[in-house]
Every structure is written in structure tokens, then in C-alpha cells.
């Protein structure tokens, strides 16, 4: 994999924020197995509840996600995925088997705070 250096200005353009999943559902209309997530980012300019489609069905069920804090990119352009508008990118890491492990803070933080 080729690595391209970025500047601190490049990094600061990506808004990585924490939110709490308040609702999660199966997404049978998606081409690849996915879940629909509603994530609360608290108050503020990038706050409120935003939606995300996440291909995380190998390791997660809707029931185990409600109440979990996750790290998301909140300044991507919305993306229409079938009948669902995905407004944020929920971050995770690929395992060798192709499943995705969610990127989460290891302690509770205020919804909407930005990655430092």
C-alpha cells in the first residue's frame, strides 16, 4: 500500500467526532449486508441526530449497538444508499476475515466532541 503524506491542515479538514447510537436497524434493501444507524452528536453546529449506513453485520446486531459511542466522519457529503440517506461515515477497522470492528472511545466522552 502506498502511503501519501498529508499536512496538519489536511487532517483538520476531516471532522472526526464521537456520537452515541440511539437506534439501529437491519437494512435489507442494501446491496451488501448493512445496518442503518441513528447517531446522536449532541448540541452544536455539527450536532443533532445523523444517520449512517454501516457494513458491520458480521460482528454486530442492532440490539448490541444502541447506547454505544462511535467515531464518525461528520463532514462527508450525504450519500444516498437505496432508500436511505447516509449522512456520516461510521469508522472502523478491517480484520483479516473482512469483518469491521468499530472505532470507539475507550471511555465515555461528550457527544459531538472532535478527535484531538
Q: Interior CA angle at 79 toward 87 and 105, to 5°? A: 40
User: Sign of the CA dihedral 52, 53, 59, 65?
Assistant: positive
User: CA–CA separation, 46 vs 53, rounded Å?
Assistant: 18
- The percent of residues in the chain predicted with pLDDT above 90, rounded, is 91
More confident residue, 95 or 3: 95
Tens of pLDDT, residue by residue over 17-60, are: 999 999 999 999 999 999 999 999 999 777 899 999 999 999 99
User: CA–CA separation, 52 vs 11, rounded Å?
Assistant: 22
pTM reported for the whole predicted model: 0.93
CATH code linked to domain 11-102: 2.40.50.140
Tens of pLDDT, residue by residue over 81-112, are: 999 999 999 999 999 999 999 999 999 999 99
* Average pLDDT value for residue range 66-70: 98
Tens of pLDDT, residue by residue over 15-25, are: 999 999 999 99
User: CA–CA separation, 17 vs 90, rounded Å?
Assistant: 10
| 3-state SS class at 12 | helix
Amino acid at each position: 500500500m502506498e502511503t501519501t503524506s498529508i499536512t496538519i491542515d489536511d487532517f483538520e479538514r476531516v471532522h472526526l467526532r464521537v456520537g452515541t447510537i440511539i437506534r439501529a436497524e437491519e437494512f435489507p434493501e442494501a446491496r451488501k449486508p448493512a445496518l442503518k444507524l441513528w447517531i446522536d452528536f449532541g448540541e452544536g453546529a455539527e450536532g443533532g441526530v445523523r444517520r449512517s449506513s454501516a457494513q458491520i453485520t458480521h460482528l454486530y446486531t442492532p440490539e448490541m449497538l444502541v447506547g454505544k459511542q462511535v467515531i464518525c466522519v461528520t463532514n462527508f457529503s450525504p450519500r444516498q444508499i437505496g432508500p436511505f440517506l447516509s449522512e456520516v461515515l461510521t469508522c472502523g477497522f478491517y480484520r483479516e476475515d473482512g469483518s469491521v470492528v468499530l472505532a470507539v472511545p475507550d471511555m465515555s466522552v461528550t457527544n459531538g466532541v472532535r478527535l484531538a
